[in-house]
Amino acid sequence: MKLGDIPITEIMTKEVVSVAPNQKLIDVKHIFEKKKFHHHVPVTENGMLKGMISLTDFLYAIKNASLDDNEVVYHTLLVKDVMREHPVSEPISSSLRDLTEILAKGDVHAVLICDKGVLKGIVSTADVIKYFLKNNN
């Protein structure tokens, strides 16, 4: 099967953990601390994509704070203070080729998948690599 024929729905993570713009940074910290997490947290409001916080964005925002939950920064900064607006996203009708072309540029490591602005999934470079390893042995 050609890359252009493989629907992105076969690869994307469909159960996406997201946060709302008015949540505190402590919530993002707790998400990043979970095992098997992609290190990209979409920001949604009523299901609609509003932005994304990468692990790099998070670390830059907390500066020299420790990982102690009691650090002031986790309780004063909001998601909307840290998130990147207008993250890279693709329609749910996209193919694996569409995604690999975006990821190959190296500017981003995850692409959000949307249907008319509603978040439906996420695909990371790791997801694409795992797909190829599983299906091309």
Q: For the domain that residue 129 is a member of, what is the CATH number? A: 3.10.580.10
Whether 52 contacts 45, CB under 8 Å: no
How many separate domains does the chain show? Answer: 1
Range of the domain at 41: 3-135
Q: What is the pLDDT of residues 23-61, one digit of tens each?
A: 999 999 999 888 666 678 999 999 899 999 998 999 999
Taking residues 123-136, what's their average pLDDT? 88
Share of the chain above pLDDT 90, in %: 67
| 49 Cβ neighbours under 8 A, 6+ residues apart | 42, 43, 87, 89, 112, 114, 117, 118, 119
Q: Is the pTM of this model over 0.85?
A: yes
Which pLDDT value is given to residue 34? 84
